[in-house]
Structures are given as C-alpha cells and as structure tokens.
Chain A
Amino acid sequence: MNLFADLPLLSLSVWLPIVGGVLVLFSGDRNPVGARRLALVFSLATFLVTLPLWGLFDTTTAAMQFVERQPWIQPFNIYYHLGVDGISMPLILLTSFTTLLVVITGWEVIQYRVAQYMAAFLIMEGFMIGTFAALDSILFYIFFEAMLIPMFLVIGIWGGPNRIYATLKFFLYTFIGSVLMLVSLIYMYNKGGSFAILDLHQLPLSLTEQVFIFLAMLVAFAVKVPMWPVHTWLPDAHVEAPTGGSVILAAIMLKIGGYGFLRFSLPITPDASAELDWLILTMSLTAVVYIGFVALVQQDMKKLIAYSSIAHMGFVTLGFFIVFRIMDRGSLQGAALALEGGMVQMVSHGFISGAMFLSVGVMYDRMHSRQIADYGGVVNVMPTFAAFMVFFAMANAGLPGTSGFVGEFMVILASFQANFWIAFLAATTLILGAAYTLWMVKRVIFGDIANDNVRALKDINAREFLILALLAIAVLALGLWPDPLVNVMHPTIENLLQHISVPKI
C-alpha cells in the first residue's frame, strides 16, 4: 500500500506515456508489431499506475492529493505543481482507460505509420493527464495546448479525404480560444503574483475584471466542450478523424472544456459566472434542443454521433451553471446534485461516445462508409456486434440502468429546483435523444440485408469483442451503481459550492 503512496504517481501517469510514446516513435515504422506491443505495454502500465489514484484516494477531504511541487520557472513563480481532487481524479482514470482501448483498437486497423500513430496517442495521453493534474495554470496551459498537436497530426495523417480543412478548423478554433485564456492568466498573475490555480481561486477581483476573465476563459472552454455556437469544428473533425482519434476527442478532449469550467471559471470568477449564467444556460439548452434536431437529420453516422455529443455535453454545462439559479432561491439544496450530475455526465459520455464511435469504426473498417444509407440489416450478419450497438444506442438515449441515464437524471432533477421550463427543455432529450439514436439504429442495424456489401460483413473478432465488452461493463456498472463515482466527488463539490456561494466582491 505505502509502496504506491511514496511514488510520485501523478508524474508517473503523465510522463510514463510520454516516454513510452517517444520510445515507440524511435522504434520506427519498420517494425509495426514491436511498436504495437510496446504501445500496449506502456498504455497498460499507465492505466495500472493511475489505478492507485483511485484506490488510495481519500474521499473525506477536499484538499488536493498526491501533490507534487517543484520550482520550475522561478522568476515567474511558475511551479511544476501536480495534484488531484474529486473532479480531476475520475477524469484521469477515464483517460488512461480510454487510451488503452484506443491502442487495442488500432491494433490491426492501422497499417500506415504504425509507430507514429501509437506514439501520437501515448504522448497525447500524457498531455491530457497533465492537463487534469496540473495545479499551476501555466503548466495547465502548456498541456492544454500541447495535446492539440498530436491530435492535429492524428487527424491530418490518418484522417479522411477532407482532413486538411478539418484539422485547420479544429486547430484554429481551439487555438484562438486558448490564447485569450493565456491573456487572462497573465493579467491575474500581474495582480496577484501567482500562477497557482488555488491561489487564483482566492484572488479578489472586481466584477468588471471577473466578467472579462470569465468571457476570455469561456471562449477557451466553450470551444473545447464544444458549446453552441462554437461547435461546428467538432462534426468536421470527427468525420475526418480515424476511429481512435474520434474516441479520444469525444471521450476525453471535450471533457477538458467541462473540467476547465469547474477548475477555473466557477471558482475564479464566481460573481461573473452568476451574472452571466443566463448566457451559459441558453447555450446549453440550445445545445440540447437545437443540436438534438440537427442530429436527427444527419446522413453520416459519425456526424450524427458528433452532434449527439454536443447535445449530451449541453447537460454538463447546464449542470455546472444551473447552480447559481438554485442558490438564488436561498438554499444549496439541489446545487450539489447539479454539479455532480454534470461530472457524472462527463464520465458517462466518455464511455458512451467512445463506444459509439468504436461501433461505427467497426463497421467503417469493413465497409469504408459512414453513410447510413449504405447500411441496413447489419444484425443479420453481425448479431453479436448488433447486440453491442443496440446496447450503446440505448445508453446514448439515456436508458436507466446505463450510465447515460445517471447524469441526465441528476441534472434534470436539479434544474427543476431552479426553474420548471429549464427542466422541461432539458428533458426533451428523452425524446430527441431516443429519436435520433434509434432512427439510426433502425436504418443501420435492423431490417433485411440491404445490399451485397452488408451481406459480406463478418461479425466482430475477439479484439473488437474485448473492447466493446469492457465499455459495456463500464456503462452498465456506472448505470447500476454510480455511488462509488459520486462518492469520490462529494467533498470537492461541497468545497466548490461553499467557495462560489461567497461573493468575491
């Protein structure tokens, strides 16, 4: 037990995959088998290293745990400062779990530049874990930016025909967003002399300052989530990305936006957040309703799932910002439910969207088409796969008993505490989510065999079965017993609520 406690677990989680990625990169393209194996070893090792973060996590405290702090750029008070609490730890585990699956997914599908492909994902994993673990805002910013590069390469090299447009759109959108955040970080450093995130939480700021900082960060995080109306890069990026890229993008990268709101916007600018919550609520509800309708008419499966991701992420931001409306009523009752619901929705969406993209990937690998119209009657030839697909589709539609239900349920219940109509609009996801998901399932999975290409399909192999089964177990486990996950967050969420309920001005 203490064996682990004495190790710098967070540094290991960040650097092990990066070092592994570099090693894989140097192993070269001539030896794809070796590259795959090496990548598997490192991703598995990283996953194992992150497990004790959960096992040794102290669920009674809101303080940062597994903290590491070393001076880094001393003239600017910048530290190599890592630590996790109840909101970042689950996301780190989600990252290491998903990356492991992605490495297995690419096993035989990727034949072109295998080593570089695997290396990109490992390095990206390190950066993403770093983003979640960073307690110094400059360190956060560097990881936040750095992870764009491997993703940019993944889409640009292994992507579809229109990948250049998609990568540029992806890169510019996210890059422009984050530059503004950097400006606001520097402004606060000038004011308070520290880049430490926890110091920024305590930094007194006037309402005007808060509004500017809030808006600057909003751009950065809203693009990442993505929130309507800065969402249009996501469908393009997903369509062009290889399956692994889509999975990481949907399962992890979008979460960094949501995480940013919790780690930065809410605690640093609580008054501006309260002041401008109508903006976020509008954007979130638009995501749920408007994007739900848009998803309905998609012809391309990946686009459909991409739009569905935007709608589901709407619940995350809705949960995070509805708290101010709840607190307006004079009690905190329901506020924690909203924040925890948003968090649960993030983790759950990681599993489900990952699984949905993997399922489409399974079909794409065989048919080289993402068009719904090219499919029909897949269940006749791929019964095992169809069972998984229907299961994940139901999870995507928020069926109770799957993880997809938990977060939405919590956020809808909490929204009702604030306003009937907000809950009403949010609950339309019950209908819209089921409509777009099941209509796709009807056209792709069910029916008679549509054409000879479908007739020639082979059911999933052992590797694909393993990945889908692991995700199915995760989705089911979280749906049937979310308490262990929610329990981890309690002190952190309570602490955050206490913090934001006290005005800074």
Chain B
Amino acid sequence: MQNIYLAIPLASLFGAVIAGLFGRQIGRAGAHWVTILGVATSFVLSLLVLKDLLLDGGAVYNAPVYTWMVSDGIRFEVGFLIDNLTALMMVVVTGVSLMVHIYTIGYMHDDPGYQRFFSYISLFTFSMLMLVMANNFMQLFFGWEAVGLVSYLLIGFWYKKESAIYANMKAFLVNRVGDFGFLLGIATILYFTGSLDYYEVFGKTAQLVDGEIEIFSGAAWSAITVACILLFVGAMGKSAQVPLHVWLPDSMEGPTPISALIHAATMVTAGIFMVARMSPLFEYSETALSFVMVIGATTAFFMGLIGIVQNDIKRVIAYSTLSQLGYMTVALGASAYSVAIFHLMTHAFFKALLFLAAGAVIIALHHEQDMRKMGGLKKYLPITYWVSLIGTLALIGFPGSSGFFSKDSIIEAVHLSELPGAGYAYVMVLMGVFVTAFYSFRLLFLVFHGEERMDAHAREHLHEPGAVVWLPLVLLAIPSAIIGWLTIEPLLFGDFFKGVLFTLEQHDVVAEIGEEFTTPLAFMLHGLGGVAVWLAAAGFALAWYIYLRNPEIAEQAKIRFALVYRILDQKYFFDRFNEIVFAGGARLIGSLLWRVADSMLIDGLIVNGSAYLVGRASRVLRVVQTGYLNHYAFAMVAGLILLLGWAMLG
C-alpha cells in the first residue's frame, strides 16, 4: 500500500510538471491528456485506498516518507496519515478535480494559456493531497501554503486583467494573515508537546490542557485555548470566515473551473478539514469551540445576505459558498465534526456542480456574467438547467437531496449543543436557511426563467455546450442528489470516523441525534416536520413571487430599504475598511519610517551630519585628504603597524 499512497499525489504532480515545463512540446491535447491521466490515476488509487480501509479491513497507515530535517532533536518529517477521514478527502478532492479537468477541455478551449492552466490545476491537486495526507503539522503547513500559491496563480490566471491581479494578491495576503496565526499555533503546539507529529501531539494533549501561557503580563491563558484559536485563525483565512472572508468573492476573477474546484469544493474546505483533524485538541477547549461556532454562525447568515444583492452569477455562488463554509464551521464549533465533514462532502459535489453549470451559462453567453442580461435560458440549455436545479435543491436542503441531510444535521447539532454561543448560532443557521433558499432561487429564476434579457446576437449563438462540459455536470449531479441518503448512516451514526474524529461525551451531539434516528428515512421524516424545511419553502416562495410574478418589487425594495441595500451592496464595508486602514495604514507607516526615520534622522542627521562635522574639522587636515583610495589604504596599513607596535611595547 505504501507505494500506492506515494503514487497518489505523485501522479498528479507528474502531470503538472510535464504540462508545465513541456507544454509547448506536447501541445494542447498532450497537456490535457497527461494531466487527466495523472489525476484519474490519483482518483482510482484513492478509491482503492478507501475500499481497502472500508471493506478489506485495511489498517490505518501512519509513517514518514522522508526526514525533512532533524534539528534540536525534533524530527521534521514528510509523512502520510491514511485513515478514513484522509481517504474520504482524497476521494472527494481527486473526484471533483477529475471532473473539473475534463470540463476544462471545453471551458478553456480557446484560451492561449491552456497548458499552463492544466499544469496549475494538477499542481493544485497534488498540493491538496499532500495537505490532507499529512501526518504532521509541518507538512500540513506546506500543503496549506502550496494550495494558497496555486490559488494565487489561478486567480491571477488572466494576468492582463487588473482586477484579477489585484484579487490574487489580496487573496494571498489575507490568507497570509490567517497563516500568521496558524504558524503561531503550530509553534504553541511544539512548545508544549515538543513534537509536530499528529499522533504524538494528540498523545500529549494533557500537556497542552495543563499548560498555561502568559500573553499579557499577569493573565495566564490556557495553552490549549491559545493553540486552538491560533490554529483556527489559519482556518479562518483558508476557509474564508469573517473577517478574513474578503478574498473569496474577489477570487471569482479566476476562470470558472477553478472557482468550482478550489474556491468551492476543496481548498476552502481545508480549514474545516484541519479543525476536524485536530478534534482531539479542540475538544478540550470550550472557549475555542464557542469562538469557532460564533464566527461560523456569523459567516453563515451575514454572508448569505450579501448573496441576495449580487448580480454577477459567480458572485452569488461565491457568497453562497461563504455561507455554507460558515455552516460547516458552526458544526465544528458544536463538536459535530463528522457532520462538518459530511456537509463538506455534499457541498463539494453540489457547489462544484453549481459553479460548473454557471460556467456553462457564462460560455454559452460569451463570457457574460451579469444575471440582468440573462433569463429564459431553460429552453436553450436544458441539461444545464436540470443539473442546476438539482444543485440548487441540494443547496437549499430540499428533503431527500444530499444537502438536506448534511444541513439538517448541522441545525440539529447546533440545537443540541450546550456550549456558550449555541443559541445565537442556532438562530443564525435557521435564518440562513431562508436566505439560502431565497438567493438560490433568485439566481435560478433570473438565469433560466422569465423574460430573455440578452441581446439578439447572444441569443442566436446560444446552444448547449459539448459533452466534455455537460458530462461532468451530470456526473456531479448524481452524487449531489443521492449521496446524502447513502452515506448519512455510516458517516454520522456508524463507525466510519471511529478513532479518527474525537468527541468528548458531554459534547457528543451527533450521538444524541443518532439515538433518535437510525435510518435516513426517519431522519427525513423528522426533517419534514422541522422548521428549517418551512423556512426554505418560504425563501423559495418569496423568490418566486418577487422575481417571476412581480419583478417591480425588487426595485421598490431597493429604494425603500436604501440603507440596508447599501450596506449589503458594500459588503458591510469590509473592503473599504481594509483598504483604508490596513493597506493605506501600512503604506503610511512605511512612508513615515522611510522618509522621516531612515532618510531624515538616521541618514540626514546622524550619518551625513557626522560626515559634515568631520568635514568641517578636517578642513584643517585637508592636506592629507587626497581622495585616493591607495592613500587611505596606506594609512590603514600604517595605522595597523602603529597599533601593533603599541601593543607589542605595551
């Protein structure tokens, strides 16, 4: 098995390297074949690994690949931990990635950077695999930053667009703020446990629990709380939680396939994965869990609200992604780690589907992304419409769809949680359900129903995209529809995550849910009577009424609630604030330090000032100041001799 584990990331890396370095030689077809074969290999082998663990009773694998460095007795290693969580993530990552690779053949067909694109997305797959397969914090950080790098390269893929290269820098820097916390979190863990290996650290959790760290003098903080919150700051960057969410909407400047793969299905869920992986640590800090839950709940509701006022089809889905990531985070905070991973998986399928479907609409309309110029596309793009409908139903949690099971479990878990903040989180996730249904159907109606608002030229060229585009859509629509039903039992109530995700008994809300419902059917029937379903229905009804029946209402509301609209349209002024305070502030500090401290004080006053004084004084000694280097050198040697002589005599 060891060779298979190694082959999984390397197959993707191989494709990336070949397409990246020899793209010109192998041509377009060569590039997509080599990368697709690479990722397909990774996918098939990942399936084998999952099968081995689940059906053939394979053992958990935890071993180093090579020793990166040994310093101070600490072994820094690159190694794999393959358990059920890893295997599930591997399958999701490589599966979605494979679909996106195929889809890209159609989507990027006319792009001059074709080979480069394939190289990047394969490189991303490699990095993401290294992240999820890591068995230690250092490699986790490696993968963490590597996916950030590829995200940077892909958001700025169309490097001529000013907005794209602004967005990619912003994404990288905001993520770096998260990584800053993440790195300090890793340092905390190393300090208290002396190790970076997951299992060793988990084995020494007691040292973190008992440890105290004095951050402000006089106030001792529990080490585990500090460590977990710092780690979670990293997750806030990568998984775009408020207030580090600002980069994700802008990342939509990148080509749509990567919005689906990186900024919806996989990379942004790395933070969720990480917290779940660290559940043996987070469980011991209720403060950190509460913090996680409140941040997640805030993101889930308030980011969803912004989605309502967006007109760019991709941005609506982006805000939806933020909101759904918030749901996953809430689940983590409620100690329902398995539920978070469950939603991560269902979301990966239906959100990738929604993005890729949006991409199909965008290419059909020649790169038009404004929903105000769409409408009535159902009859031109039937396949796209039906898969979008499936994705939308899953997103809003229509009973029976994959999203229903995962989202309802989150709501149930929060409901049962007794941690501080759970009450707030429960209200937020419930209201979020209404908001989700509203913006989702607003999108569906504006794009596929109602009057046709595109111009005549665009309408003439409308046609369903080719098989490389719709096939991945259909392949993603299937799990979006049914995977919740199929997997809720083993993932949540069975022992799939046994020994992987850790929950203290007093936090174990998932077990409480499991006591009541043991079958998907029971769970669904219970859900039908719950308030969430009716909230979703209300959201749907309102969207239907406003956008199909009575379109003037939307405009009137915009005027009547001008202040609310402005706040939402300006995204709560986060961007403006960051622009002025952080970006502007940093430039101001830099200028002041440079112009005043460096140039005026150090150089002007001290250096040149003393030079001036010396100059004044040495006018007397001008005779010897010849300005020739050899004279100075002579003086130097003479001085040396004199000093040595003095030393010898003295």
Using a CB–CB cutoff of 8 Å, the interface residues on chain A facing chain B are 75-76, 145, 149, 152-153, 169, 172-173, 175, 182-183, 186, 189-190, 229, 232, 290, 293-298, 333-337, 340-341, 377, 379-380, 390, 394, 399-401, 405-406, 409-410, 412-417, 420-421, 423-424, 427-428, 430-431, 434-435, 438-439, 442, 445-448, 480-483, 486-487, 490
Residues of chain B contacted by A153 (CB below 8 angstroms): 629
Closest-by-CB residue of A relative to B139 is A400
CA distance A295 to B587 in the complex (A): 10
User: What 1/0 mask marks residues of chain B from 181 to 211 whose CB sits below 8 Å from any chain A CB?
Assistant: 0011011101100100000000000000000
Q: Is B589 an interface residue (CB 8 A)?
A: yes
18 CB contacts below 8 A, A to B, read A76-B648, A145-B636, A149-B633, A152-B629, A297-B591, A400-B142, A400-B146, A412-B184, A413-B186, A413-B190, A415-B187, A417-B191, A424-B184, A427-B183, A431-B173, A438-B152, A446-B159, A447-B160
- Whether B602 and A400, one on each chain, are in contact in the complex, defined by CB atoms closer than 8 angstroms, is no
Closest 6 CB pairs of A and B: A416-B187, A297-B590, A293-B590, A337-B72, A446-B165, A336-B72
- Whether B647 and A439, one on each chain, are in contact in the complex, defined by CB atoms closer than 8 angstroms, is no
Residues of chain A contacted by B152 (CB below 8 angstroms): 438
Q: Is B156 an interface residue (CB 8 A)?
A: yes
Nearest chain B CB to A127 CB, angstrom units: 14
Residues of chain B contacted by A333 (CB below 8 angstroms): 72-73, 194
The total number of A-B Cβ pairs within 8 Å is: 156
Closest-by-CB residue of B relative to A172 is B611
CA distance A409 to B141 in the complex (A): 11
Residues of chain A contacted by B647 (CB below 8 angstroms): 76, 186, 189-190
In the complex with contacts A76-B648, A416-B190, A447-B165, A336-B71 CB distance below 8 A: yes
- Whether A486 and B593, one on each chain, are in contact in the complex, defined by CB atoms closer than 8 angstroms, is no
Closest-by-CB residue of B relative to A424 is B184
In the complex with contacts A442-B169, A486-B69, A380-B160 CB distance below 8 A: yes
In the complex with contacts A290-B593, A394-B149, A446-B165, A413-B187 CB distance below 8 A: yes
Nearest chain B CB to A271 CB, angstrom units: 23
Nearest chain B CB to A168 CB, angstrom units: 8
- Whether A186 and B162, one on each chain, are in contact in the complex, defined by CB atoms closer than 8 angstroms, is no
Q: Is B213 an interface residue (CB 8 A)?
A: yes
- Whether B149 and A399, one on each chain, are in contact in the complex, defined by CB atoms closer than 8 angstroms, is yes
Residues of chain A contacted by B138 (CB below 8 angstroms): 409
CA distance A447 to B162 in the complex (A): 6
- Whether B176 and A434, one on each chain, are in contact in the complex, defined by CB atoms closer than 8 angstroms, is yes
Q: Is B67 an interface residue (CB 8 A)?
A: yes
Nearest chain B CB to A497 CB, angstrom units: 10
- The residues in B between 162 and 188 inclusive whose CB is less than 8 angstroms from any CB of A are 162, 165-166, 169, 172-173, 176-177, 179-180, 183-184, 186-188
- The residues in B between 124 and 160 inclusive whose CB is less than 8 angstroms from any CB of A are 138, 141-142, 145-146, 149, 152-153, 156, 159-160
Apart from A442-B166, A445-B159, 4 more pairs, CB < 8 Å: A333-B194, A399-B149, A413-B190, A442-B169
In the complex with contacts A76-B648, A446-B156, A431-B602 CB distance below 8 A: no
CA distance A126 to B455 in the complex (A): 73
CA distance A152 to B632 in the complex (A): 12
Closest-by-CB residue of A relative to B190 is A413
Residue from A76, A290, A400, A409 with most neighbouring chain B CB atoms (10 Å): A400
- Whether A406 and B69, one on each chain, are in contact in the complex, defined by CB atoms closer than 8 angstroms, is yes
Q: Summarize A's interface: helix, strand, loop or mixed.
A: helix
Nearest chain A CB to B194 CB, angstrom units: 7
- Whether B190 and A229, one on each chain, are in contact in the complex, defined by CB atoms closer than 8 angstroms, is no
Nearest chain A CB to B503 CB, angstrom units: 29
- The residues in B between 43 and 72 inclusive whose CB is less than 8 angstroms from any CB of A are 66-72
Q: Is B458 an interface residue (CB 8 A)?
A: no
In the complex with contacts A400-B145, A412-B183, A427-B183, A483-B602 CB distance below 8 A: no
Q: Is B215 an interface residue (CB 8 A)?
A: yes
- Whether A377 and B71, one on each chain, are in contact in the complex, defined by CB atoms closer than 8 angstroms, is no
Nearest chain B CB to A336 CB, angstrom units: 4
In the complex with contacts A297-B590, A435-B586, A169-B607 CB distance below 8 A: yes
Q: Is B640 an interface residue (CB 8 A)?
A: yes
CA distance A190 to B644 in the complex (A): 10
Nearest chain B CB to A306 CB, angstrom units: 12
Q: Is B534 an interface residue (CB 8 A)?
A: no
Closest-by-CB residue of A relative to B148 is A399
CA distance A190 to B649 in the complex (A): 10
- Whether B184 and A434, one on each chain, are in contact in the complex, defined by CB atoms closer than 8 angstroms, is no
Q: Is B643 an interface residue (CB 8 A)?
A: yes
Residues of chain A contacted by B146 (CB below 8 angstroms): 399-401
Nearest chain B CB to A163 CB, angstrom units: 13
In the complex with contacts A182-B640, A333-B194, A438-B173, A296-B633 CB distance below 8 A: no
CA distance A390 to B120 in the complex (A): 14
In the complex with contacts A169-B607, A294-B594, A400-B141, A427-B160 CB distance below 8 A: no
CB < 8 Å neighbour of A448 from B68, B160, B597, B644: B160
Q: Is B74 an interface residue (CB 8 A)?
A: yes
Closest-by-CB residue of B relative to A73 is B644
Nearest chain B CB to A426 CB, angstrom units: 10
Residues of chain B contacted by A297 (CB below 8 angstroms): 587, 590-591, 594
CA distance A416 to B191 in the complex (A): 7
- The residues in B between 67 and 120 inclusive whose CB is less than 8 angstroms from any CB of A are 67-74
Q: Is B650 an interface residue (CB 8 A)?
A: yes
Residues of chain A contacted by B603 (CB below 8 angstroms): 232
CA distance A405 to B643 in the complex (A): 45
- Whether A293 and B141, one on each chain, are in contact in the complex, defined by CB atoms closer than 8 angstroms, is no
Nearest chain A CB to B73 CB, angstrom units: 8
Residues of chain B contacted by A410 (CB below 8 angstroms): 71
CB < 8 Å neighbour of A296 from B74, B587, B646: B587
Residues of chain A contacted by B643 (CB below 8 angstroms): 182-183, 186
- Whether B142 and A481, one on each chain, are in contact in the complex, defined by CB atoms closer than 8 angstroms, is no
Nearest chain B CB to A386 CB, angstrom units: 9
Residue from A298, A438, A446 with most neighbouring chain B CB atoms (10 Å): A446
- Whether A431 and B176, one on each chain, are in contact in the complex, defined by CB atoms closer than 8 angstroms, is yes
Residues of chain A contacted by B591 (CB below 8 angstroms): 297
Q: Is B598 an interface residue (CB 8 A)?
A: yes
- Whether A420 and B213, one on each chain, are in contact in the complex, defined by CB atoms closer than 8 angstroms, is yes
CA distance A76 to B153 in the complex (A): 62
- Whether A431 and B177, one on each chain, are in contact in the complex, defined by CB atoms closer than 8 angstroms, is yes
Closest-by-CB residue of B relative to A183 is B643
CA distance A296 to B597 in the complex (A): 15
Nearest chain A CB to B185 CB, angstrom units: 10
In the complex with contacts A446-B165, A483-B67, A486-B69, A294-B145 CB distance below 8 A: no
CB < 8 Å neighbour of B172 from A189, A377, A413, A438: A438
Residues of chain A contacted by B159 (CB below 8 angstroms): 377, 379-380, 445-447
CA distance A5 to B444 in the complex (A): 77
- Whether A438 and B169, one on each chain, are in contact in the complex, defined by CB atoms closer than 8 angstroms, is yes
CB < 8 Å neighbour of B66 from A190, A293, A430, A481: A481
Nearest chain A CB to B605 CB, angstrom units: 11
Residues of chain A contacted by B66 (CB below 8 angstroms): 481
- Whether A427 and B142, one on each chain, are in contact in the complex, defined by CB atoms closer than 8 angstroms, is no
Residues of chain A contacted by B166 (CB below 8 angstroms): 442
Closest-by-CB residue of B relative to A165 is B608
User: What 1/0 mask marks residues of chain B from 533 to 573 whose CB sits below 8 Å from any chain A CB?
Assistant: 00000000000000000000000000000000000000000
- Whether A487 and B180, one on each chain, are in contact in the complex, defined by CB atoms closer than 8 angstroms, is no
Closest-by-CB residue of B relative to A383 is B116
CA distance A152 to B636 in the complex (A): 15
CA distance A445 to B156 in the complex (A): 12
Nearest chain A CB to B238 CB, angstrom units: 14
In the complex with contacts A229-B602, A336-B71, A420-B172 CB distance below 8 A: no
Residues of chain B contacted by A434 (CB below 8 angstroms): 172-173, 176
CA distance A487 to B160 in the complex (A): 45
Nearest chain A CB to B602 CB, angstrom units: 5
In the complex with contacts A182-B640, A399-B149, A482-B68, A430-B179 CB distance below 8 A: yes
CA distance A413 to B74 in the complex (A): 11
CA distance A435 to B159 in the complex (A): 18
- Whether B71 and A427, one on each chain, are in contact in the complex, defined by CB atoms closer than 8 angstroms, is no
- Whether A442 and B142, one on each chain, are in contact in the complex, defined by CB atoms closer than 8 angstroms, is no
